[in-house]
Amino acid sequence: MKNENVIEVEELTKKFGEFYAVNKISFEVKKGEIFGFLGANGAGKTTAMKMLIGISHPTSGRAEVAGFDVFTQSESIKKNIGYMSQKFALYDDLTVSENINFFGGIYGLSSSEIKEKKNHLISVLGLGDIANKLVGSLPLGWKQKLSFSVSLLHTPKIVFLDEPTGGVDPITRRQFWEMIYKAADEGTTIFVTTHYMDEAEYCNRVSIMVEGKIEALDTPKNLKRRFNVDSMNDVFLKLARNIE
Ligand code: ATP
């Protein structure tokens, strides 16, 4: 794996029966990059992401994540990444503080590390008033921001975010992206799927999947130039309709 790459994927494939959910995708992601992974519903994004985080065995191809092979070193991958799934938003029936304790423990942090991280999070996110409230009582945007922070508790090299802002309002989405930028500035690589095309514009590079294949991969600026349009939304529509 090249030094600056934290993800390398070559012809990675997943078949369900005779159906190719992911069909020979290849790409690289560099350290600290915000990499947008786009595609219509059913394009194969979640299936690809599951292979990269070591919970689904590829049919063929090659992939290294954080320097580890997805076929043989999935346990090491899990220790070096953070993951926030579409539905996952911590435990509703635990308080903010208890959730941080719980996940810190799962990630293998010591109690003093957990305490330190918790105090830091509470001050950075301004959670002082709600640290002892049940997560279930918080608005969705807060849950998502907290969930993102918890996925970073063990300072992973890469964080995988599967539609992290689904259903939250535009202001909270903007705040969420500020958190993403901050994590990337600190050297964490961000691998993010989204349905919001304005969010695609915030990524350093964007890949667009259509029916299991990566049909385009470049900076938002270059993609707009190539398709001769003004927005990522139009790039997406042109690709999905197969017109260039
Ligand atoms: P969404 O945005 O809706 O999450 P996606 O791009 O993540 O979509 P996937 O969930 O990866 O898409 O699904 C890709 C295709 O693979 C779909 O046609 C889906 O029905 C199929 N698929 C996913 N998991 C399985 C499975 N376990 N068995 C059979 N087919 C599957």
Beta bridge partners of 218: 206
What letter represents residue 181's amino acid?
Y
- Please give the pLDDT value at position 244: 52
Q: Tell which phi-psi region holds residue 20, choosing left (phi > 0), alpha (psi between -120 and 50) or beta.
A: beta
For residue 42 and ligand 1, the question of a CB distance below 6 A is answered with: yes
Ligand 1 atom closest to residue 195's alpha carbon, by position in its atom list: 2
> What's the rounded Cα separation, in Å, for the pair 142 and 102?
18
For residue 45 and ligand 1, the question of a CB distance below 6 A is answered with: yes
Ligand 1 atom closest to residue 212's alpha carbon, by position in its atom list: 14
pLDDT in tens, 143-172: 888 899 999 999 999 999 998 888 888 888
- Please give the pLDDT value at position 220: 97
For residue 58 and ligand 1, the question of a CB distance below 6 A is answered with: no
- Please give the pLDDT value at position 62: 97
- Please give the pLDDT value at position 240: 76
- Please give the pLDDT value at position 34: 97
> What's the rounded Cα separation, in Å, for the pair 39 and 52?
17
Q: Report the nearest-CA residue for atom 26 of ligand 1.
A: 16
- Please give the pLDDT value at position 66: 95
Pair of tokens at residue 226: 């190539």
pLDDT band at 242 (very low <50, low <70, confident <90, very high): low
For residue 144 and ligand 1, the question of a CB distance below 6 A is answered with: no
pLDDT in tens, 196-212: 888 899 999 999 999 99
pLDDT band at 127 (very low <50, low <70, confident <90, very high): confident
For residues 241, 58, 187 and 95, what is the CA-based torsion angle, rounded to 10 degrees?
A: 100
pTM tops 0.75, yes or no: yes
For residue 25 and ligand 1, the question of a CB distance below 6 A is answered with: no
**Residue-wise burial string across 47-83, b where 16 or more C-beta atoms lie within 10 A, e elsewhere:** bbbbbbbbebebeebebbbbebebeebbeebbebbbb
**Residue-wise burial string across 93-131, b where 16 or more C-beta atoms lie within 10 A, e elsewhere:** ebbbbbbbbebbeebebeeeebeebbeebbeebebeebb
pLDDT in tens, 93-123: 999 999 999 999 988 899 999 999 999 888 8
- Please give the pLDDT value at position 169: 87
> What's the rounded Cα separation, in Å, for the pair 158 and 183?
10
